[in-house]
Amino acid sequence: MYGMINEAMRRLVTETSGEQVWSRIAARADTTEHFAMLHYYDDAITYDLVAAASIELEIPADDLLRGFGHYWSMRVGPENYRDILGATGTDVISVLTNLDEMHARIQDLYPDLRPPSFEVHAVDGSGIEVHYRSVREGLAPFVVGLLEGLGDLYGTPAVVTQVSQKTAAQPYDVFHVGLGT
Ligand code: HEM
């Protein structure tokens, strides 16, 4: 994935646990400590960093991914990509509805991008159903955190439940997102 993803992880860990902890995580993952935002790194580096952080911080990898998703929506998106996010939408549903278009638009800047794909299905008054497609495995907890973070960002706390996991017959994960006010 692009270095901006690993850099955002570095920022989260250094903010919450300090630079020394990040140094240990990078050493354990056998990577550099810093990443060039516009350089494409092998996905294995990102997964190795999560696995190393899980050991160093003694937190399950899925919990870390969920926390990282929340941090991305609440901090990285609004602070580093304010204009892009603002042009995508102004609430959870509009952002998710326009997200594929947004990831496609940034492909000019990130030509090797392999973005995810999101579909929003209106369910009923209790919330929406979100279909998430990716060429990658194991990122569902990251998506849960991203969705929860968007809920908090827009003042409509989201209760996110994974309804089903992708299979050969259904090539996407399904999440129910209950949106409060
Ligand atoms: C705010 C601006 C955003 C920017 C600039 C951005 C950009 C990116 C980039 C560069 C990647 C790495 C993909 C790759 O290197 O191949 C990525 C991955 C991803 N993005 Fe975004 N993104 C943004 C917001 C969001 C939001 C709001 C969501 C969901 C609610 C989201 C969902 C994802 C997911 C799940 C991935 C992981 C890749 C995968 O699932 O295969 N992004 N994004």
Query: Which run of H or of E encompasses 101?
Result: helix 92-105
Task: Identify the pLDDT of residue 125.
Answer: 79
Of the candidates 138, 100, 105, the one whose C-alpha atom is nearest the C-alpha of residue 117 is: 100
d(CA 171, CA 136): 11
Residue range 62-113, pLDDT digits in tens: 999 999 999 999 999 999 999 999 999 999 999 999 999 999 999 988 999 9
Ramachandran sector of residue 121 (left: φ over 0; alpha: ψ -120 to 50; beta: rest): beta
Q: Is the CB of 31 under 6 A from ligand 1?
A: no
**CA of 103 relative to ligand 1 center, distance in Å:** 7
d(CA 133, CA 154): 24
Residue range 109-138, pLDDT digits in tens: 899 999 999 999 987 778 999 999 999 999
Pairing of strands 127-133, 158-164: unpaired
d(CA 108, CA 81): 15
Q: Is the CB of 84 under 6 A from ligand 1?
A: yes
72, 103, 135, best to mutate for ligand 1 pocket (most atoms within 8 Å of CB): 103
Q: Is the pLDDT of residue 180 over 80?
A: no
Residue range 50-76, pLDDT digits in tens: 999 999 999 999 999 999 999 999 999
Task: Identify the pLDDT of residue 177.
Answer: 97
Task: Point out the ligand 1 atom lying closest to the alpha carbon of residue 135.
Answer: 41
DSSP string, 39-87: SB--HHHHHHHHHHHHHHHT--HHHHHHHHHHHIIIIIHHHHSHHHHHH
Task: Identify the pLDDT of residue 126.
Answer: 80
* CA separation, residue 7 to residues 72, 101, 165, 170, 173 (Å): 11, 24, 28, 33, 26
Q: Is the pLDDT of residue 175 over 90?
A: yes
What does the chain come to in residues?
Answer: 181
Task: Identify the pLDDT of residue 181.
Answer: 63
Task: Identify the pLDDT of residue 124.
Answer: 79
Q: Is the CB of 158 under 6 A from ligand 1?
A: no
Q: Is 130 exposed, middle or buried (0-12, 13-18, 19+ CB in 10 A)?
A: buried
Task: Identify the pLDDT of residue 156.
Answer: 95
49, 72, 154, best to mutate for ligand 1 pocket (most atoms within 8 Å of CB): 72
* CA separation, residue 6 to residues 69, 97, 119, 141 (Å): 13, 26, 26, 17
Task: Identify the pLDDT of residue 135.
Answer: 97
Residue range 19-48, pLDDT digits in tens: 999 999 999 999 999 999 999 999 999 999
